[in-house]
Amino acid sequence: MEHFFDCMGQGGFQLFFQQLVNGLAKGSIYSLIALGYTMVYGIVELINFAHGDIFMLGSFIALLLLNILGVTGLIQGGLLNIIAILLAVMFGTMLLTGLLGVAVERIAYKPLRGAPKLAPLISAIGMSFILQNVGQIWRGPAPISFPTIFKNQFYDVFGVRIGLKSLIVFFSCVIIMVGLTLFVQRSKVGKAMRATAQDYDTSSMMGINVNNTITLTFFIGTLLAGAAGLIYGVYIGSVQFVQGYQAGLKAFTAAVLGGIGNIPGAMFGGLIIGLVEAMSDQYGTCFGLGIQWTNAIVFAVLILILVFRPSGLFGTQVTEKA
Amino acid sequence: MSTAVPKSGALRKRTAPPNNTSGTPTGKRGTMFSRSLIMSGLLLLFVLIIPLIDLSSLGLYPAPLVSTLGDTGVYVILALGLNIVVGYAGLLDLGYAAFFAIGSYTYALLASPQFGIHLSFWLLIVIASLVAAFFGMLLGAPTLRLRGDYLAIVTLGFGEIVPTFFLNADSITGGTNGVSGVDTPILGIPGTTTGFNFSLGGTNPYPYYYLILAMVLVAIFVISRLRDSRIGRAWMAIREDELAAAAMGIDTVRTKLMAFAMGAAFSGFAGCVYSSKLGFIGPGQFDFNVSVFILCMIILGGVGTIRGVILGAVVLYMLQSYVLTRLPSWIHDFGVSTNIGFLKTTDFSGIRYLIYGVALVAMMIIRPEGLLPGERQKAELHPESLDQARRESNVELYDETVLDRQDPSTRGGQEG
C-alpha cells in the first residue's frame, strides 16, 4: 500500500499537471477527428470507418505541401513567416482532405442511401482498406519523420514544464472547434445541417437541399480530419500509414463517449480519452498495469461510462424504436 | 355480427404459419421443399468430393487448397455464430473476434505443454463453447440495454481489451510468443493406443477438412433448429421491433443475452477447432480486423439467412486467403505467357488490400442486400418483390409490417 502511494506521489503535482497538459494536447487532436465521426453520424447514421484513414492521408498531404513549399526543417524568418506558412499548409490540407471526403461519400456511401443500415458500414470498411493501402503505396510502410517546423520551447509555470508545442496544438484545435461551433449554430448552412440531421423530409419541404447538405457535412467533417492530420504530424513528429487506424478508433470512441451525433460531446469525449490515456501512461504502473495496458484501460473506462450513461455523456436518452 | 366473419378470416390469413415467410405459394411448397433438399444434397456431395479432385492443372494444388478450405470451414462457423447476434437478434457486434480468441486460448491453454495439461479435444470443445458463452453473458449483462450503435462500440472495446489481455498477461498466455505445441485431436478412446491421430495442420490436410465439414454441418443443424425455435422467433421479433416484442411478452434482455451467449458459444467452438489445427495461438490473430472480416462475410452474403452467410464466408475467405495471395503471381504468369511487359515487371502484392477494399465497396453497391438475401431483406430494398410474391401466391403474407416499417418517410422522424 505504501508502495502504491509512493508510486502515485512520484513527481508530485508538477508531473501530474505535465501529464494533464500532454493529455489535453493529444485529446484535442482526438476531438478534431471525433467531430468528423459525430457530424457524419448525426446526419446519415453511418459510422464512417474511412474517417481515420482520411486523417492519415491528411498528415501525408500536409507533408507533401510542406515539401512543395520547400520546408524540411525549422522555418526561417520571424514569427509571421511561420504563421503564414502554417496557415497556408493547413488550409491547403483541409481543402484537399475535404474534397477527398466528398469523393469517398460520392463513391461509397451515396449509392447506398436507403439501403439496409449495415451495407454502408461494410462499404465504409472497404473504403478504409482502400485509403490505407493508398497511403502505404504512396509513402511506404515505414514511419516518415515530419519536419520540426518551429523550436519547441518550454515554459516553467510553478515548476510545471509546459511545451510550446502542446500549447500551440491545444489552442489551434480549440480555435478550430470554436469556429465550427459558431458555423453550425449561427450560419444558415449550419442550421440546414442541424435540420437535416433531425428529419430529411421535413427539411426538404423547408427548401433545404438534403443531398447537398449531406455532402457539405462530409466536406466539413473530413476537412477537420485534415487539420488534425497536420497538427498530429507537428505534435508527434512522425507519420505512418497505420496511424489512422489507432487514432480513428480512439476518436470514434471519443465521439460515442460524448454521445454520438453531439458536437460538444465529441470535443469533450476527445479530451477525456486524451486525459485517460496520459494518466494511464503515467500512473498505470502503480496498479500493476504498464503502458501496454493503456488501450485496454481506455476502452474499459468507455464501457464503464456507457453502463452508467447509456447514451454517452452529452447524448439525449433515445428510446429504442426499431 | 355479419362483419365479424371476414375479419376473422383475414386474421387467420395473417397469422399463417411462419414456414410461409419465404413467399412460396402454399400449393407448391412440397415441390420447392424437395428441390431445395436436392440442391443441399448436391452441395454436400460437392464439398465431400472437392478435396479429391485434382485441380493442379489450374494452378490449384490440392494440399494448400484443402487446408484453406478447412480454414474456410472455421470461418463459416464463426459467421454462422455472428449471424445469430447480428442477423437474428439485430445487435451490431464489432468485437466478435474476442470470443474467438477466448475459445482458442481456452483450448490452447488446456491442451498444450504451456501448463502441461492435455485434456481431450472433444471435452474441450464443450468447455471452450461454455467459457466463451459465459464471457458473452458477462459482456452482455450490463451493456445490452444500450441502443444500437452504443452497443456496437462497447463490443468493439471488448474486442480490443481481450487481445490486449492475452498479449500482456505473459505469465499465463505466453505474451507475444503465444502458445505453441497445441495438441491435435485424437479420434478414439483417450488414454489408450486405440486412437487415430488426425495429424492436423501438417502435411495431410484431408482428415482436418472432413472434421471441420462435420462440425459445420452440426452448426448448421443446431442454428437452423434454433432459428425456428421459440427463442429464434423471439430474436427476430426483437430485431424487427423491440418495443412490440416486449409488449408481446418477450423478455427482451434475457432474449438478447441468449443471442450473445449463443453467438459467443459458436465462436468458442470455432476457436477450439482453429487452435487445434494451427497448433499455435498468438494475440495478433484476433484483432479488430478479424471481427470486421467476419461481419463483412455475413453482410456480404445476406444477413439473417444461413445459406447467404455460408456463401459470404466462403467467398470472402477464399478471396482473401487464396485468390488475393496468389493473384500477384497469376498476373505475373499471365504477363509472361502473353508477353505484356508491365504485367511481368510490376509487383501487385502491394495492392492486395486495395483490391479487397474495392471488392467490398463494389459488392455493396451492386447488391446492398447481400448475395443471397432473405425475403425480408429483399423486401426492405425492393418492396415490389414482396407484392409480386403476394400476387403470385394469392395469399396474404403474414409479414405485412415489413412494408410499413421500411417506408423511409416514417423512419426519418423516429430516428432523427
The residues, ordered by sequence, that sit 6+ positions from B8 with a Cβ below 8 Å of its Cβ are none
Which H, E and C letters describe chain B, residue by residue? CCCHHHHHHHHHHHCCCHHHCCCCCHHHHHHHHHHHHHHHHHHHHHHHHHHHCCCHHHCCCHHHHHHHHHHHHHHHHHHHHHHHHHHHCCCCCCCCHHHHHHHHHHHHHHEECCCCEECCHHHHHHHHHHHHHHHHHHHHHHHCCCCHHHHHHHHHHHHHHHHHHHHHCHHHHCHHHCEECCCCCEECCCCCCCCEECCCCCCCCHHHHHHHHHHHHHHHHHHHHHHCCHHHHHHHHHHHCHHHHHHCCCCHHHHHHHHHHHHHHHHHHHHHHHHHHHCEECHHHHCHHHHHHHHHHHHHHCCCCHHHHHHHHHHHHHHHHHHHHHHHHHHHHHHHHHCCHHHHHCCHHHHHHHHHHHHHHHHHHHCCCCCCCCHHHHHHHCHHHHHHHHHHHCCCCCCCHHHHHHCHHHHHHHHC
Cβ B408–A310 below 8 Å, yes or no?
no
Which residues from A are below 8 Å from B377, CB to CB?
Answer: 116
Which residues from B are below 8 Å from A109, CB to CB?
Answer: none
Whether the pLDDT of residue B164 is over 50: the answer is: yes
Distance from CA of B154 to the nearest CA of A (A): 6
Most confident of the ranges A174-178, A226-230, A283-287, B4-8: A226-230
User: Which of A45, A122, A213, A252 to mutate against chain B (most B CBs within 10 Å)?
Assistant: A122
The Cα A114–Cα B406 span in angstroms is 9
* Assembly ipTM: 0.86
Indicate yes or no: pTM above 0.90. Answer: no
Cβ B416–A260 below 8 Å, yes or no?
no
Cβ A118–B354 below 8 Å, yes or no?
no
Q: Is A256 on the interface with B (CB under 8 A)?
A: yes
pLDDT digits (tens, 9 = 90+) for B259-318: 999 999 999 999 998 988 888 888 888 988 899 899 999 988 888 889 899 999 999 998
User: Which of B92, B161, B298, B377 to mutate against chain A (most A CBs within 10 Å)?
Assistant: B161
pLDDT given for residue A51 in this prediction? 95
For A296, which of B142, B164, B357 is closest by C-beta distance?
Answer: B164
Most confident of the ranges B112-126, B248-262, B358-372, B374-388: B248-262
pLDDT digits (tens, 9 = 90+) for A176-228: 989 999 999 899 999 999 999 888 889 999 999 999 999 999 999 999 999 99
Whether the pLDDT of residue B381 is over 70: the answer is: no
For A119, which of B242, B353, B368 is closest by C-beta distance?
Answer: B368
For A134, which of B296, B354, B416 is closest by C-beta distance?
Answer: B354
pLDDT given for residue B25 in this prediction? 46
